[in-house]
Amino acid sequence: MTAADIAAPSAGSRKIRRLAIGVVLFLIVYAGAWFFAANQIETRLADFLTEKKASGSSAECDGMSVRGFPFRIGLFCDSVRLDNISRGASASFGALRSAAQAYRPGHAIIELDGPAEVRFSPGMTVSADWELLHASVQATLSGLDRTSLTYDKLAGTAMLPSFDDDAAPGDTHKFIFNAGHGEVHLRQNGADLDAALSVDQFDLKFDKGLSLLPLINASADMTFVDRANLMERGGWKPDALRGSKGEMRDLTLDLGNGMVTSASGPFTVNDQGLISGEFSVTMKNIEGWRQNLVKVFPDKDGTVMVNNIANMLTALADGKNEATVKLNVRDGIAFLAFFPIGELPQL
């Protein structure tokens, strides 16, 4: 071997050197792209929030920053505030944290801290806190393809204006609510929107009073026809479900001790937000429901209404403690046979 042979780099060493240079260049480009994307997120989001103020609504992200380098990217806020002047609504929350893999920015995980306070004019305030609240979103260029939200150990209060005939201006009712766990899932299914909701161990009571009902486990599974566009940017509005139709595949309320009611059937929502439909309803342990609902409606009219409905269900079931009936809803009024039994809220 000559001195020239020793001095000349081998083919293998040249390949290693080129690979090392390529890796360094890739890391430089990757880091530059990450920090450029982070800067764009901060800049464009700040511009977007500024533009929203001109339309009567605004959002604030205090202490905004983008973090997660090198493998993740996510938005962080020390606190979040939302305002909609035209609708007289506002909301404030604690810290927000989000994270997405750098190679898959459209799939993000979001965590939001309490406490939260939501106000609606006139005179409605909801305050809440929780142990954990997080969401998963899968986004496309046009909006969301699907999203899920879960929470654990939710607790809060609701102040609602009083609509009693003898109520003075400014009178309110205070409710206290708790839930062990809850979930909301939304997804596009072709042109339709699928929605599934559940809540476990839900408790509701008047201020300093007893629980209105035993702990409730509830779930709903439904589809809104031709409403997948609600998942697109700007698609969701307060009256977005008006003029729609859909299918309630299952709605279940479980109070324990065999007190289970389930319903399913097609429905429509008119331009005023009033629901119409025909539902198959099965109620188990009718007597148990009667005993608990008369505590919720203790006044004479309410007690008479509950007893009449329970007696009618028992008669339709030939004296049994379980009945399956058709419940017709017309423009927000629910009818059992020919008798109106309740009013559904507007959507």
What are the tens digits of pLDDT across the range 132-156?
Answer: 999 999 987 777 889 999 999 999 9
Q: Which residue has the higher pLDDT, 167 or 234?
A: 234
Residue 61: strand, helix, or coil:
strand
**Any domain includes 30:** no
What is the rounded average pLDDT of the residues 184-209? 92
Tally Cβ neighbours within 10 Å of residue 77.
21
What is the rounded average pLDDT of the residues 78-91? 86
| Number of independent structural domains in the chain | 1
Least confident of 46-60, 132-146, 174-188, 282-296: 46-60
Distance CA 338, CA 345 (A): 20
What is the rounded average pLDDT of the residues 117-132? 90
Least confident of 48-57, 306-315, 331-340: 48-57
Tell me the sheet residues that pair with 137.
108, 147
Tally Cβ neighbours within 10 Å of residue 255.
19
- The answer to whether 72 and 82 have CB atoms below 8 angstroms apart is no
Domain that holds residue 308: 237-347
Q: Is the preceding omega at residue 115 within 30 degrees of 0, hence cis?
A: yes
pLDDT of residue 254: 96
Which residues, including other chains, have CB under 8 Å from residue 31's CB and lie 6 or more apart?
Answer: 69, 70
What percent of the chain is predicted at pLDDT more than 70? 91
Residue 1: pLDDT over 70: no
pLDDT of residue 268: 95
**Any domain includes 243:** yes
Range 273-286 burial, b when 16+ CB lie within 10 A, else e: bbbbbebebebbbb
What is the rounded average pLDDT of the residues 178-202? 95
Distance CA 98, CA 320 (A): 53
- The answer to whether 72 and 102 have CB atoms below 8 angstroms apart is yes
Which residues, including other chains, have CB under 8 Å from residue 149's CB and lie 6 or more apart?
Answer: 133, 134, 135, 183, 184, 185
**Any domain includes 114:** no
Residue type, 298: P
pTM score, two decimals? Answer: 0.85
Residue 194: pLDDT over 90: yes
What are the tens digits of pLDDT across the range 223-266?
Answer: 999 999 888 866 677 788 899 999 999 999 999 999 999 999 99
pLDDT of residue 196: 97
**Any domain includes 12:** no
**Any domain includes 293:** yes
**Any domain includes 245:** yes
Residue 83: pLDDT over 90: no
pLDDT of residue 218: 97
Distance CA 136, CA 224 (A): 21
What are the tens digits of pLDDT across the range 48-58?
Answer: 777 666 666 78
Q: What is the separation of C-alpha 48 from the centre of its chain, rounded to a whole number of angstroms?
A: 24
- The answer to whether 134 and 111 have CB atoms below 8 angstroms apart is yes
Averaged pLDDT of the chain: 86
pLDDT of residue 215: 94
**Any domain includes 70:** no
pLDDT of residue 153: 97
**Any domain includes 29:** no
Instruction: Specify the DSSP class assigned to residue 232.
Output: B
Distance CA 331, CA 178 (A): 32
Q: Is the preceding omega at residue 122 within 30 degrees of 0, hence cis?
A: yes
Comparing C-alpha atoms, which of 158, 205, 154 is closest to residue 183?
154
Distance CA 196, CA 251 (A): 10
Residue 157: pLDDT over 60: yes
Confidence class for position 180, pLDDT limits 50, 70, 90? very high
pLDDT of residue 150: 96
Which two three-digit tokens encode residue 286?
């009718």
